[in-house]
Chain A
Amino acid sequence: MNATTFSPGLPVATGEIDRQLKTLWETDGQETARASLMNLAIYSEDPEALEENTSSIAEITQKHACRAILIAARPDCAEAEVRAWITAHCHTSKAGSKTVCCEQITFLLQGDVQAMIPNIVFAHLDSDLPLYLWWQPQFPRPIEAHILTWVDRLIFDSRAWGDFRDQLAILQEAVAKTKRRLTLRDLNWARTLRFREPIAQIFDDPVNWPKLPTISKVSIAYGEDSQTTALLLVGWLASQLKWSLRWKMTPNGRGVIQMEDGDRPIELALESRPGFSMTSLSIVTPETTWRLFQEQGSDFMHLGTERADGTKREALLIAPRESGAALVSEDLTRGTNDRIYLKAIAKIAPML
């Protein structure tokens, strides 16, 4: 952590956190309301990430009142040490009449952090509220089982996984050991929502949805770091439309994914381009082609519809931002069901 440019708040002794939080509210002096609908813990192993995560919490609390618990760990340090800070994020409520504040408790942990995390989190939860844990580093093997037994949603980003298969296996093992229901929220999956939602809208239309069984081609262009995002989208289409996916080696030694609806082949074109995020997706049927695309840096997604008779239509949609905080914020407004995600993952797992 760069202490000269960033401070995560008021330094406090770990045994004094509750008392100091109380004092924070009592001395505020303004007409403020403390609000909390959940506990949101963020775990990172990069102390430099504290500043960014504090900014993320400031952004998330604009929409989701929570008690935030930020943990920056340095497991490589030999000497065990815990330092803590408290702060509040305040903003004017949508009604405009009140200042609404959320608490943030920040911890810097050194040493054998795996053993410390459960207690650090459990001791500072806002009672009776759900616990959402945003786990930022790679999952260790095994994941500390204690922590997951208390977590309601585990948030992670599979786009950052070095070894997708290995990370998925660690996660699945941990989930299997967890006796209570744990919902998995993958930010990489959340990234696909900007495509999934308009595609679902297209086929909500009773004129369009009978065309689902006639889809002949799906093309996806993605940034070079977003291959798994594109595959999740493929997995979603395949699982929801009951298509089969197979990995096949071509004569020139390249692997390709074959997609079939029963015996009917569906062409899949995956194109990697320079850049980071997914940029376009096309769905082709004999009668209509739909193309969703977003220009680099644009806040909008374009939906183009072209019929076989040559008629074309364009529509403009707002595309949600892709930052981690924006994705988490968007995801928190969604339901807690991860069934569709798990189905999509199951489809693509053999290809990863």
Chain B
Amino acid sequence: MSASTNPLREGIAARSTPQPCSLVIFGATGDLTHRKLIPALYNLAADGDLPAGLTVIGFARRDKEDEPFRKELEEATRKFSRQTVQDELWNSFAQTIFYHRSEFGEAAGYQSLAKRLDQIDQERGTRGNRLFYLAAAPEQFDEILTNLRDAGLNEAAEGSWARVVVEKPFGTDLPSARNLNAIVSHSFHERDTYRIDHYLGKETAQNIMVLRFANAIFEPLWNNRHIDHVQITASEPLGVEGRGGYYDTAGALRDMVQNHLMQLLCLTAMEPPTDLTADSVRDEKVKVLRSLRPLESAAEVAENVIRGQYAAGSIGGKNVIGYRAEDRTDDRSMTETFVALRLRIDNWRWANVPFYMRVGKRLPKGATEIAVQFKAAPSVLFNNPQSPTLLGNVLVIRIQPDEGISLRMEAKIPGSSLRIEPVKMDFHYGTSFGKASPEAYERLLLDAMSGDATLFARRDEVEQAWAFVDAIEQAWHGPAAKQPELFFYPSGSWGPAAADELLEREGRAWRRL
């Protein structure tokens, strides 16, 4: 029997409430728990979306009791929650939060966790349903997962479930991703593994499929006959902001392209899935990754990928230091803080349509968006050599900030002469829908509790993306003589000139954001 047969749910638009469960957060004293996870859970509680009996157990190394832990989380939630915290509701929600102290590598800590979870099952009716959230550093995943398995917590009792949520990065290259996947799959089935990429929880990312497949005007144009090229941009004015140690070993390609931007690429380029089940959607996304034309040599990488690193410059009227002068970065670091790529998807739909991606730090403004540039109208009537060049329509899907969609089109300027200028139709989520969008983590946590993996990355997706990215990394770290150049760009600019040339040589230009 499934809850979908509950006759009282019919006509009440909200989704079915997940089954009662225990949510164990590893790394409970960390930033992610304070800034994202607990505020997201509170918002879900305020919206009445959490199952009765949900119990949150923070698992971490520091000595702490339940009450001080709850107090810390309350302060964080008051600071980071999108909704105002109501005392009565928080007090009720806080009673569902507990702290469990243990080292990640300490077997006894997991045995006592197992006992505690059994007790919670009895007292709070969570019935053996467990969601383990790995909000710890990736190098600790192995010992956490091994200990969970050794304590028997990876297997659920009959009729219950045990799932694991894995935070990015899912490895640092293909071998490490495979190794991590092997570790995870040693403890949990793939169907119970939820690899979180918070970009997929954003409303606009979810809206890409709705825009494409629920509006009949777009899909007939969504191919190489009508689309000239696609640009995906993720820019931010921030530098490494104290994450120099991590970032210097990662770089923009691993930190952003392999996961977030590849996911946006997949949603933009994929074929319509047969249905909206998790595997149907993910099957189509994997096909896009498999169709990416590989970059097989350092020369091909140099021709199609530009890497850059920010130098000193100015952001918002303030002078800022260069990357190599940042705290905990190598002063001879070759780590890229900017990447521009030209990608080709070798399938019928996208033959000869380049997909350009750029991602970078210390750029003039923060924006993540997908721009679909349509081909210009034929060179007759208004598009003759004597008239100004028509720019072609552009459909822009803004992921953040100011989520929305705009369409640029040509229009006649009022007057007796025929002058044509581009105009923009603009849809803003924030303007049209007064309701605040839920945070990405709210949706994703609820999905994981409900067993819906649609917005989570599957193993083959992750590995396929790494396989593509690894070829670039290998070229960058190969023999010095063949290494593609690392270009420096002043902070506050739109990246190195070489990134502009990547498009200019094909008669195109990056969009002005």
Q: Which residues of A contact B (CB under 8 A)?
A: 33, 35, 37, 61-65, 91, 93-98, 100, 193, 196-207, 209-210, 212, 237, 240-241, 299-300, 303, 305, 313, 315-318, 333-335, 337, 339-341
Contact = CB atoms under 8 A, between A and B. Distances in A.
Can you list the 10 inter-chain pairs with the closest CB atoms, starting with the nearest? A340-B11, A95-B430, A63-B434, A316-B92, A93-B430, A204-B3, A200-B8, A201-B17, A94-B436, A204-B17
A103 B1 CA distance: 50
Given A91-B434, A95-B401, A340-B11, 6 more contacts: A95-B430, A204-B17, A209-B1, A212-B7, A237-B8, A318-B86
A93 B431 contact: yes
A202 B53 CA distance: 11
Nearest to B430: A95
B440 to A, nearest CB: 15
Contact of B428 (A61, A98, A202, A317): A98
B430 A318 contact: no
Given A37-B432, A65-B432, A206 B1 contact: yes
A313 B401 CA distance: 42
A318 B89 CA distance: 8
B186 interface: no
Contacts of B434: 61-65, 91, 93-94, 100
B430 A98 contact: yes
Interface in B288-308: none
11 contacts: A98-B428, A197-B12, A200-B8, A201-B52, A204-B16, A205-B51, A212-B6, A299-B88, A313-B125, A318-B47, A335-B13
B48 interface: yes
A305 B53 CA distance: 11
Contacts of B47: 318
Interface of B: 1-3, 5-14, 16-17, 19-20, 46-48, 51-53, 86, 88-89, 92, 124-125, 127, 401-403, 428-437
Contact of B10 (A197, A240, A299): A240
B48 A199 contact: no
Nearest to B125: A313
A340 B10 contact: yes
Given A35-B432, A98-B430, A204-B16, A315 B10 contact: no
Contacts of B127: 207
A33 B434 CA distance: 13
Contacts of A335: 11, 13
A209 B3 contact: yes
A204 B402 contact: no
Contact of A318 (B3, B48, B52, B432): B48
Contact of A206 (B3, B86, B401, B431): B3
A316 B45 CA distance: 9
Nearest to B7: A240
Contacts of A35: 431-432
Contact of A209 (B5, B13, B48, B430): B5
A147 B437 CA distance: 35
Contact of A95 (B92, B402, B435): B402
Contacts of A212: 6-8
B19 A206 contact: yes
Interface of A is mostly: mixed
Contacts of A98: 428, 430-431
Contacts of A193: 12
Contact of B6 (A204, A305, A333): A204
Nearest to A63: B434
A164 B408 CA distance: 53
A296 to B, nearest CB: 15
A90 to B, nearest CB: 12
Nearest to A239: B7
B3 A205 contact: yes
Task: Output the residue of B10, B48, B86, B125 with the most chain A CB within 10 A.
Answer: B48
A339 B11 contact: yes
Contact of B20 (A197, A203, A205): A205
Contacts of B401: 95
B92 A65 contact: no
A235 to B, nearest CB: 13
Nearest to B54: A315
A171 to B, nearest CB: 19
Contacts of A240: 7-8, 10
A212 B6 CA distance: 9
Contact of B52 (A33, A206, A303): A303
A200 B12 contact: yes
Contacts of B2: 206
Contacts of B402: 95, 97
B88 to A, nearest CB: 6
Nearest to A199: B8
Contact of B9 (A93, A204, A339): A204
Contacts of B124: 313
Given A94-B434, A333-B435, A197 B11 contact: no
A313 B53 contact: yes
Contacts of A318: 46-48, 86, 89
B8 A203 contact: yes
A327 to B, nearest CB: 15
B88 A94 contact: no
A15 B11 CA distance: 43
Contacts of A202: 52
Nearest to A34: B431
B428 A95 contact: yes
B59 to A, nearest CB: 24
Contact of A315 (B14, B52, B88): B52
Contacts of B428: 33, 93, 95, 98
Given A33-B428, A201-B52, A241 B7 contact: yes
Given A35-B432, A63-B435, A303-B52, A210 B1 contact: yes
A241 B9 CA distance: 11
Contacts of A299: 86, 88
B13 to A, nearest CB: 5
A95 B434 CA distance: 10
A341 B10 CA distance: 11
A62 B435 CA distance: 8
A334 B10 contact: no
A83 B318 CA distance: 57
A321 to B, nearest CB: 13
Q: Which of B52, B127, B437 has the most CB of A within 10 A?
A: B52
A127 B27 CA distance: 53
